[in-house]
Amino acid sequence: MYQYDQYDQTIVDERVAQFRDQTQRYLKGELSEDEYRVLRLMNGLYVQRHAPMLRVAIPYGLLSSEQLRMLALIARKYDKNYGHFSTRQNIQYNWPKLETVPDILADLASVQMHAIQTSGNCIRNTSSDHLAGVAKDEIEDPRPYCEIIRQWSTLHPEFSFLPRKFKIAVSGARNDRAAVSVHDIGLYLVEGANGNVGFRVLAGGGLGRTPYIGTVIREYLDKKDLLSYLEAILHVYNRFGRRDNIYKARIKILVNSLGAEKFTKLVEEEWQRLREGALLLEQKEIDRVRAYFQAPEYEDNAHHDDSFAEKLETNKDFAAWVKRNVHDHKMPGYRAVFVSLKSRNLAPGDATDEQMDAIADIAEKFSFSQIVVTHDQNLVLNNVKQADLFMVWQALSAEDLATPNIGLLTDMICCPGLDFCSLANAGSIPIAKQINDKFDDMDYLHDIGEIKVKMSGCMNACGHHHVGHIGILGVSKKGEEYYQLTLGGTAENEASLGDRLGPAVEKSKVADTIGKILNVYIELRQEDEKFLETYKRVGIEPFKDHIYPKKQVKEKELAHASH
């Protein structure tokens, strides 16, 4: 993984000093509430319902064991012994004291970490594929480009006060595991007509109140032009993006109000002006950064191992875990192991300090000391030998980290919701618990198979509900918590936004309604069709008919009466 040199370290250290000074000036009254608010947000510090929330950047989700141990230490020293991994592959602490945040940042800097631009109207953490570097379907490892983008966007003088937040994702694989098409800018590494690898560029995707799938604005971009093209897009956005209405300020609104063609023309014109200048990305820099992401020293004969097959046959629980939580790997004899943060005993995406320490140890022993955060709020150990899987499973099980539910109903994406977030209209975590309580039969969950449930406590869509196979949106009706369900969304290849199922349901009925949705699926599925496939084939009507029968009848009666 990338290692800081003295320059990277200096920037992070100076940012800590700057933030310490800003916080002191605020506490002394020299900075107003409003002035400090913008500054602290640019360092990931929110003021929430109960306490401040600090979001720490995990660039493209990649952590070393040493860094994860520091995250555990911070949870212990400054918070209530846990952290929450987010859909941006970051970690959030819900209970730090404002006065201690500069010290937390200093601790982070000691392990090459920071909270720079984890919030605010600036370029956020670039996210990526959690299987980057090990996936069989990979064209090229996207992480070096994420790191190059990280450096270019860090404290960018022109783009630190954008109309609104700005998120970039990069995928290097044929299957999109990074929700690239719902980002402000999405980049796919693709093979060009010339045989070289470059980028397909999307702009204007995003979730929130007005969800959009991004538009392809350039089919192929040479790597050398990456930064000049990004700068051109950001420049156009910074000049013309709306600033009068926070809900219309994202780049997706600009792209759609101008039309993709006009937007692209503005970008291309700006790019012509920039492309030959100092932004031209030199191959030697690409090579320098790529060198940090070399494959580890794999053992050539790791697949010459019988113990794995033997354990699979003799241990049913282990086999169930392998089936759901272990992913194949480009290297024979190696696997990627998903660490489930979706046990029913903690809120989705949460991990305790002890769990983090344990994972750091397991990664150190069995996976080259690296851990990846997924945008589904789980962790991955990317390079585990098959012969070690049984020991890894045992070690994870001991820490309640081996629930065999990756990709299943209970592997929900869930925002912090009303329990923590000051924007939320409704709770998310209690709904996750309700779902966990109702669907506690593992055999049933395995029978239902792959299904992505994504839940947000408000329109801001931090839980990506628009792209859930089942999306759940918390709303407030006369002060009561209600939940609007959508079906058929996906952020993978051929992304689509979910369709609204019907009126919002009351809080106590969410899990029951999901049960009814699953009944329709079970009845209609053909052979081993997955939920999303069935949905795409039959559409929303059978689900509507089953879940809102009375209303249908009433509507039919009304229609008759009017004849």
Partner 1 sequence: MRVIKDNKVIDDNWQIVEGSAIESGLPAGDVILPFSVWQSNREAILSWNDRKLGLLINGEHDIDDLAGDLDHFNIIAIEFPAFKDGRGYSQARILRDHYDYSGDLRAVGDVLRDQLYFMQRCGISSFLIKEEKDIEDAIRGFSDFSVKYQTAADGAEPLYKQR
Q: Which two tokens stand for residue 422?
A: 């000051």
CA distance 258 to 261: 8
Q: Is 243 in the site for partner 1 (CB under 8 A)?
A: yes
Cβ-contact 369, 65 below 8 angstroms: yes
Residue from 238, 343, 355, 534 touching partner 1 (CB under 8 A): that is 238
Residue 257 is a binding residue for partner 1 (CB under 8 A): no
Between 123 and 473, CB nearer to partner 1: 123
Distance CA 415, CA 457 (A): 7
CA 413 to chain centre: 9
Closer residue to partner 1 (CB): 28 or 563: 28
Among 33, 193, 194, 282, binds partner 1 (CB under 8 A): 282
Burial of 526 (0-12, 13-18, 19+ CB in 10 A): exposed
Sole binder of partner 1 in the list 152, 220, 293, 444 (CB under 8 A) = 152
Min dist CB 96 to partner 1, Å, is 22
Nearer to partner 1, 43 or 484 (CB): 43
Integer Cα distance of 501 and 473 in angstroms: 12
Task: Considering the complex, state which of residue 113 and residue 337 has its C-beta at the smaller distance from partner 1.
Answer: 113
What single-letter amino acid sits at 383? N
- 278 scored as a contact of partner 1 (CB under 8 A): yes
Phi and psi torsions of 470, nearest 5°: -115, 120
Q: Which residue, 195 or 277, has its beta carbon nearer to partner 1?
A: 277
- HEC sequence for 2-38: CCCCHHHHHHHHHHHHHHHHHHHHHHCCCCCHHHHHH
- Residue 22 binds to partner 1 (criterion: CB under 8 A): yes
* Stretch 155-184 residues interacting with partner 1 (CB under 8 A): 155-163
CA atoms within 13 A on the CB side of 414: 30
Does residue 112 interact with partner 1 by CB under 8 A? no
Q: Does 288 bind partner 1 (CB under 8 A)?
A: yes
Nearer to partner 1, 76 or 243 (CB): 243
- Does 5 participate in binding partner 1 (rule CB under 8 A)? yes
Position 285 contacts partner 1 (CB under 8 A): yes
- Can you tell me which of 4, 39, 51, 305 binds partner 1, judged by CB under 8 A? 39
Question: How far apart are the C-alpha atoms of 514 and 435, rounded to whole Å?
Answer: 8
Rounded to a whole number of angstroms, the minimum distance from the CB of residue 288 to partner 1 is 7
State the burial class of residue 258 (Cβ atoms within 10 Å of its Cβ: 0-12, 13-18, 19+): middle
* DSSP track, 519-557: HHHHHH--TT--HHHHHHHH-SHHHHHHHSHHHHHHHHH
- Tokens read off for 372: 């990846």
Residue 526 dihedral angles phi and psi, to the nearest 5°: -110, 130
Nearer to partner 1, 31 or 58 (CB): 31
Binding range to partner 1, per CB under 8 A, among 145-153, 339-347, 471-479, 488-496: 145-153
Per the structure block, which two tokens stand in for 431? 């709904």
Complex with partner 1: residue 5 or 261, whichever CB lies closer: 5
What would the x/- binding string for partner 1 be over residues 205 to 234, using CB under 8 A?
A: ----------------------x-------
Task: Centre a 10 Å sphere on the Cβ of residue 163 and count the other Cβ atoms it contains.
Answer: 22
The smaller minimum CB distance to partner 1, of residues 163 and 489, is found at 163
| Closest CB 426 distance from partner 1, rounded Å | 29
Task: Tell me which of 4, 20, 38, 511 binds partner 1, using CB under 8 A.
Answer: 38
Is 158 or 300 the residue whose CB approaches partner 1 more closely? Answer: 158
Q: Does 7 bind partner 1 (CB under 8 A)?
A: yes
Question: What is the three-class DSSP state of 243?
Answer: coil
User: Measured between alpha carbons, how far is residue 435 from residues 15, 405, 432, 485 in Å?
Assistant: 42, 13, 5, 14
Q: Using CB under 8 A, which of the segments 277-285, 354-362, 453-461, 508-516 binds partner 1? A: 277-285
Size of the site for partner 1 (CB under 8 A): 38
Rounded Cα–Cα distance for residues 158 and 416 (Å): 32
Q: Is 244 in the site for partner 1 (CB under 8 A)?
A: no
Q: Please identify which residue in 69, 177, 235, 375 interacts with partner 1, judged by CB under 8 A.
A: 235
Instruction: Write down the residue that tokens 């009068």 correspond to.
Output: 244
Question: What is the spatial distance between Cα 162 and Cα 164, in angstroms, rounded to a whole number?
Answer: 5
Q: Residues in the site for partner 1, rule: CB under 8 A?
A: 5, 7, 10-11, 14-15, 18, 22, 31, 35, 38-39, 121, 151-163, 227, 235, 238-239, 243, 273, 277-279, 282, 285, 288
